Structure formats: structure tokens, C-alpha cells
């Protein structure tokens, strides 16, 4: 079956620190992989995506590389800002059934 496992939080970092949030997946076939971000009281927003192995998704300084050999899609940012404080969800899309599967989310708090 399809599933996503991501690093549990909460994560607290100082501004300008390096961020890594781990995500691994189990999937049949060839899924697409995503990171979504959710700010308090809001819905999920797509942060970045990768649709095939070795693709690197990037946006707003965040990056993640689709690693088929390790079934991973870890999120990284070199220098976090207070405005990056949010909950981050790793997800996969399976075109078998046209469905998305989400991790449990990792809460990030960046302190000045």
C-alpha cells in the first residue's frame, strides 16, 4: 500500500539555522512527492513537488530531492526565518486511484 512517514515534531530553531525534516514513503508504482505547508487556521499550500526519481523540488529557499533508492524526500532549508513557522506535511500522489497520502505533519517554530 501507500504511506508516508515523517519526522515527529515539534521542531524549534533559531533564525538562520539549518532545517531538515525527514520524510520516507512506501508506494506501489511511481508516485509523485510533495511538501505542503499549513499556517495556523488555514488550509494546506503546496510548497514544492517532485514527480520522478532524482528530481529536486525547490521553492522559497526550501528544497527536497526524490530519492528512489532510499524512498525518501527530506525537506531542507539553509537559513530559516521566523515567517517559516508552520506545520509541514510530506505527501505522495498515486495515480492508481488518483489519491494523495499525507504524513502526520511536523510543526516548526523559528525563534528570533
What is the contact surface with another protein in residues (CB under 8 A)?
4, 32, 36, 41-46, 49, 51, 89, 91, 93, 95, 97-100, 102-105
CA dist 85 and 2 (Å) reads 28
- Residue 43 CB, shortest distance to another protein, in Å, is 4
Cβ 71 vs Cβ 84: under 8 Å: no
Instruction: Name the residue nearer to another protein (CB basis): 13 or 87.
Output: 87
- Residue 14 CB, shortest distance to another protein, in Å, is 24
- Residue 78 CB, shortest distance to another protein, in Å, is 26
Residue with cell 505522495: 92
Instruction: Name the residue nearer to another protein (CB basis): 33 or 110.
Output: 33
CA-wise closest residue to 112 among 2, 6, 16: 16
- Residue 16 CB, shortest distance to another protein, in Å, is 28
| Alpha-carbon distances, residue 13 vs 1, 34, 53, 97 (angstroms) | 34, 23, 30, 38
Amino acid at each position: 500500500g501507500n504511506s508516508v512517514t515523517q519526522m515527529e515534531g515539534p521542531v524549534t530553531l533559531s533564525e538562520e539555522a539549518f532545517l531538515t525534516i525527514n520524510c520516507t514513503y512506501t508506494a506501489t508504482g511511481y508516485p509523485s512527492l510533495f511538501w505542503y505547508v499549513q499556517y495556523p487556521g488555514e488550509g494546506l499550500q503546496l510548497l514544492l513537488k517532485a514527480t520522478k526519481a532524482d528530481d529536486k523540488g525547490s521553492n522559497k529557499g526550501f528544497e527536497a530531492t526524490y530519492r528512489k533508492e532510499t524512498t525518501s524526500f527530506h525537506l531542507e532549508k539553509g537559513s530559516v526565518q521566523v515567517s517559516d513557522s508552520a506545520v509541514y506535511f510530506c505527501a505522495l500522489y498515486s495515480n492508481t486511484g488518483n489519491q494523495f497520502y499525507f504524513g502526520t505533519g511536523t510543526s516548526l517554530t523559528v525563534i528570533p
